């Protein structure tokens, strides 16, 4: 879960930048070697940026870095 916490912190810094977007979030996530891309793709299969805000990311240990639209930030969630 430490990897998810590090990614969450990096994304929350990036989200404060002007014109933050899903492509910028993915660019930050690509820097984290512990992101499980197949699981992330599956999690975001029905993703709609107009409704959901920003994509969430799944880590190799099963924890997630999830977008919390009500708080306008990313939060770390333990393995489900």
Average pLDDT, the chain: 93
* Per-residue tokens: 28: 């930050």
Task: Output the pLDDT for position 14.
Answer: 95
Task: Output the pLDDT for position 80.
Answer: 67
Given a contact cutoff of 8 angstroms between Cβ atoms, the answer to whether 74 and 66 are in contact is: yes
Please give the Cα distance from 15 to 24 (Å, whole number). 9
Task: Output the pLDDT for position 1.
Answer: 85
Q: Which segments in the chain show pLDDT lower than 70?
A: 80
Stated pTM of the model: 0.91
Task: Output the pLDDT for position 51.
Answer: 85
Task: Output the pLDDT for position 35.
Answer: 97
Domain range list for the chain: 2-77
């Amino acid at each position: 879960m430490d990897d998810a916490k590090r990614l969450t912190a990096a994304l929350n810094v990036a989200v404060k930048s002007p014109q933050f977007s899903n492509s910028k979030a993915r660019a930050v996530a690509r820097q984290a070697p512990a992101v499980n891309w197949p699981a992330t793709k599956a999690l975001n299969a029905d993703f709609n940026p107009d409704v959901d805000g920003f994509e969430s990311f799944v880590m190799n240990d099963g924890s997630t870095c999830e977008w919390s639209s009500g708080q306008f930030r990313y939060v770390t969630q333990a393995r489900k």
